[in-house]
Amino acid sequence: MKGSEKVRTQKPEFRSRKEFSGELETLRNKYQLRKLTCIESSHGSKISIEGQTYINFSSNDYLNLSRHPDIIKAAIDAFKRYGLGSGASRLLSGTYTPHKQLEERIARFKKTQAALVFNTGYAANTGTIPVIAGDAAVVFSDELNHASIVDGIKLSKAAVKIYRHRDVSHLESLLKKSPGNKTTGRRLVITDSVFSMDGDIAPLKDIVWICEKYDALLMIDDAHGTGVLGKTGRGGLEHFGIKADNIIQMGTLSKAAGCYGAFVAGSKDLIDLLINRARSFIYSTSLPPAVAAAGCKALDIIDKRANMSRRQLWKNRNRLYEGLKSLGFDILDSETPIIPVLAGDARSALRLGRYLYKNKIFVPAIRPPTVPEGRGRIRFTVTAGHTDEEIDLVLKVLKLNRR
């Protein structure tokens, strides 16, 4: 009895504690351990961290809309009417008037029959891809597609063929070798429109042609293209003058729209199917109605009043791009306001990020596994809110570091 009592009072040694410590130490040794940085101010080209002011070059708020007074007012008005939380998933009591208004506004903006709102871009991709692919499909995916696409494909349990980055010839060769039939089922091509780490644009016009030639369905992740690309900011398809008839478009409201949430736009049949089968939609509490109302107002602004902001965005982008290029930095094939500066291994990327931070420029290093080994970088994202002086300061600081 005494022995058993002694056993019960002994403090157990949990093996998992050592495992967690070991994993953290491994990350630390590989210069891949991340920490969170707390922002103490509203978002913009300048932010406050621990009471100090930094120039912010790590935000996807491309059109500087996150503090737009009309968007804030739309949210406040909806807060007063609907409260904060939505209380339930969309199929229960979680669908509110702002959700429906936002989906109708997205469909008009993207020129599709219908749209469905998800809580995040990650939820949109991981919920949609398993529905449209399924385990009988073959999915063709660009090797640099976003992690949410990769995870969505894994959840679908479909066969997957990875084609070389933006290599349409390679994509076509894979399609030739994987004909659609009763065994393989549907063929689905998925690509980002703007690649979030390299800042380049998918050759969508060629991809659409290939998909039509081989009777493959096309889905694009337009998260970084919506609001940025195209004459009126409608994204990658508008940028290339492509009609959206049979193309599935995913996009977010958390980047150029300055709000929160995501969506899938396409045919009415597709949206009805997602409502009934997309697990990330069915089993999630819906976005707060006020967030949906803010998103609706943001799309109104992008559609009708953002031309000047978009021109400023591209002016700022070109200023930084040309400056970095003249300094001899490897900026890959950037074509957008996402401009990477290749640093090499994770340690070198961290060193450059810390140097910039020391000079009051906030742009954290991007390291594996987000990017491949040896491809660590600083990822500058330019917004319409940056000034010439802020951009020039970055270039000056980087020039001094090269001496």
Q: Which residues pair with 341 in a beta bridge?
A: 378
Q: Are 55 and 278 spatial neighbours (Cβ–Cβ below 8 Å)?
A: no
Token pair, residue 76, equals: 């406040």
| 124/119 Cα distance (integer angstroms) | 7
Token pair, residue 209, equals: 């042609």
Phi and psi at 264, nearest 5°, equal -125, 130
Q: Are 343 and 378 spatial neighbours (Cβ–Cβ below 8 Å)?
A: yes
Residue type, 238: E
CA distances from 357 to 157, 383, 402 (A): 42, 19, 16
Residues known to be catalytic: 196, 224, 255
Which H/E stretch holds residue 298? helix 289-304
369 prior amide bond cis, ω within 30: yes
| Direct distance between the N- and C-terminal alpha carbons of the chain, in angstroms, rounded to an integer | 75
- Residue located via tokens 């409608």: 234
Nearest to 383 by CA among 41, 42, 49, 65: 65
Strand order in the sheet with 187-192: 114-118, 262-266, 247-252, 217-221, 187-192, 138-142, 159-163
| 9/377 Cα distance (integer angstroms) | 52
Phi and psi at 350, nearest 5°, equal -60, -40
Q: What is the CA radius of gyration of the chain?
A: 23
CA distances from 20 to 27, 34, 367, 397 (A): 11, 15, 21, 38
- For 290, residues 6+ apart whose C-beta sits below 8 A from its C-beta are 75, 76, 78, 79, 82, 84, 98
Q: Which residues pair with 118 in a beta bridge?
A: 262
| 99/287 Cα distance (integer angstroms) | 8
